[in-house]
């Protein structure tokens, strides 16, 4: 089953590392899983990101919500609304 939180990343993306650290802290509090998909090494993940409307990393999906950048305040709201 697909995680309802997916993060499309590349290895050399500072914002990608930042969102992964954020989500690891979030998972420690909530035990909610998330999926990290490296589009730099996996062409299928890259194609999937493009088909979903992503064009750069990090590309974050929380259920049906799509974020084209790491916005901590917006991600907080989405996760709280979805989980709370």
CB 56 within 8 A of CB 28: no
* Percentage, residues of the chain above pLDDT 70: 93
Which structural domain, as residue segments, surrounds residue 64? 5-83
Which residue, 69, 61, 81, 67, is CA-closest to 14? Answer: 69
pTM score: 0.91
Q: What is the CATH number of the domain that holds 36?
A: 3.40.30.10
pLDDT tens-digit profile of 34-50?
999 999 999 999 999 99
DSSP string, 25-67: HHHHHH----EEEETTT-HHHHHHHHHTT--SS-EEEETTEEE
Q: How many domains does the chain have?
A: 1
The residues pairing with 35 across neighbouring beta strands, listed in sequence order, are 6
């Amino acid at each position: 089953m697909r995680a309802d939180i997916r993060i499309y990343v590349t290895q050399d993306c500072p914002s990608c590392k930042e969102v992964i650290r954020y989500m690891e802290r979030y998972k420690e509090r909530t035990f909610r899983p998330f999926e990290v998909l490296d589009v730099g090494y996996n062409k299928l993940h890259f194609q999937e990101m493009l088909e979903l409307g992503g064009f750069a990393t990090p590309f974050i999906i929380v259920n049906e919500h799509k974020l084209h950048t790491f916005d901590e305040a917006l991600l907080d709201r989405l996760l709280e609304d979805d989980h709370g």
